[in-house]
Amino acid sequence: MAHGRAPEQSPVRVLAHAPSARKIGAELTRRGFLATTLAASGAVLFTACAPQKASAASEAHGGALEDKLSIYTWSDYDNPDLLSAFTKKKGPRVVVDAFNSNEELVAKLVAARGTSGYDIVVPTGPFILPMAENGLLERLNLDLIPNFATMNPHFVHRAFDPKNEYSICKAWGTTGFAYDKTVITRELTGWADFIDAAQNEASGKTSLLDDPAPLCGIYFWSHGIDWNTTDEKHLAACEEFMTKEMAPHVVSFDSAPGGQIIPQATAALVQVYNGDARTGIAASKHPERWQWVLGAPATEIWMDNWAIAKGAPHPEAAHAFINYIIGPDVQVDQMDYIGYDTGVDGNQQRAEEAGLENLDMVFFTEEQIATMHEGKFTKAQERIVAIWNATKAAAGA
């Protein structure tokens, strides 16, 4: 998820996977939190490995491509037709594994210490620098990725990787909610309405994201508090609110509700990423019953990124794939499948010309973008995880 500030300099608009619009069922969630051993240890996540200097991807100089490419990413986050097309065009056979969270990705790479066997990984922005500093990522050879020049200027040189030494934008999105208008007949416009509906019409029919940060964000955003706060007073109030006032009304925690919950209408009020909402509503037999709402007065923005894992066994294929997948000629198919803007210049025009549906739900104005805030990796990380665990326990999950 999700995730600095949004690129407020431009009226950039976001096309609804992520992060996530295409999840495959309940077993894999967009941003659920593994971290059972890391959080329980009381250790800071990245202290699990000693800092190393990330090496240049010296093996990748534009030579012959290897016969295989291994990608470790979020569930169902690339158009399979494009993966097949890459193999047909370039040769390497693409193998994809899915993780549930950034924490799970980091844990896997820490344990492998450069021998994971993965080539491409897809971490979210705040994790890039810590991963690079701890030797979990290779430097990119941008000379092998000429399509980098086609990226929208607002999606490059971000604070978490100012020179794009380790990452290139894969997709970005935000968080809001969807509600069933046959159950909730009044108009909901923001997080305060979300909370009220959860405690009333949607009591026992509310689904929250299975992800610590945006789950706690419901409290912070609705109360005008910076969701990156490390103030224990605010964190304690958040825990009290989530466990006592929200948890009793929650039926499920799911970071991919567009896969089943929205299409099957098993909940009436659903916290959801914008792209997942788009896909879930489109998959519903009665899409007209659902209304998407961008979280207000504030919400998150997240950016997922293409990166190359330390010790990648197929670096030439990895660079060739990243260059291919950010190419302007594949953007319509990629965006429509994953449901999010991929950061390539001209995507909005391509989407409109292609006639993609529900663009009013997934494109955002300058004013909306100004309300979106990136998450940060702070000393409160474990505290946020503890609140998430306590909320789920209080809800009986």
Q: What is the pLDDT of residues 139-195, one digit of tens each?
A: 999 999 999 999 999 899 998 999 999 999 999 999 999 999 999 999 999 999 999
Give percent above pLDDT 90 in the chain. 72
Average pLDDT of the segment spanning 263-283: 94
pLDDT bin (cut points 50, 70, 90) of residue 37 is: very low
Q: In sequence order, what are the residues at sequence separation of 6 or more whose Cβ sits closer than 8 angstroms to the Cβ of residue 58?
A: none
Distance CA 14, CA 79 (A): 18
Class of domain 36-171+303-332 as given by CATH: alpha beta
Domain range list for the chain:
36-171+303-332
Q: What is the DSSP string of 54-91?
A: PPB-TT-SS-PPPSEEEEEEETT-S-HHHHHHHHHHH-
Q: What is the DSSP string of 138-181?
A: EBP-GGG-GGGGGB-GGGSS-TTSTT-SS-EEEEEEEEEEEEET
pLDDT bin (cut points 50, 70, 90) of residue 9 is: very low
Distance CA 100, CA 107 (A): 11
Average pLDDT of the segment spanning 203-213: 94
Taking each helix axis as running N to C, give the angle between helix 212-222 and helix 381-394, from 0 to 180 degrees, rounded to the nearest 10.
90
The CA distances from residue 305 to 176, 203, 220, 227, 282, in Å, are: 21, 37, 26, 22, 26
Looking at the predicted structure, is the pLDDT value of residue 50 above 80?
Answer: no
Q: Which long-range contacts (CB under 8 A, 24 or more apart) does 358-362 make?
A: 358/16, 358/278, 358/281, 358/282, 359/15, 361/16, 361/274, 361/277, 361/278, 361/281, 361/292, 362/14, 362/15, 362/16, 362/274, 362/275, 362/278
Looking at the predicted structure, is the pLDDT value of residue 12 above 70?
Answer: no
Predicted pLDDT at 1: 52
Looking at the predicted structure, is the pLDDT value of residue 245 above 80?
Answer: yes
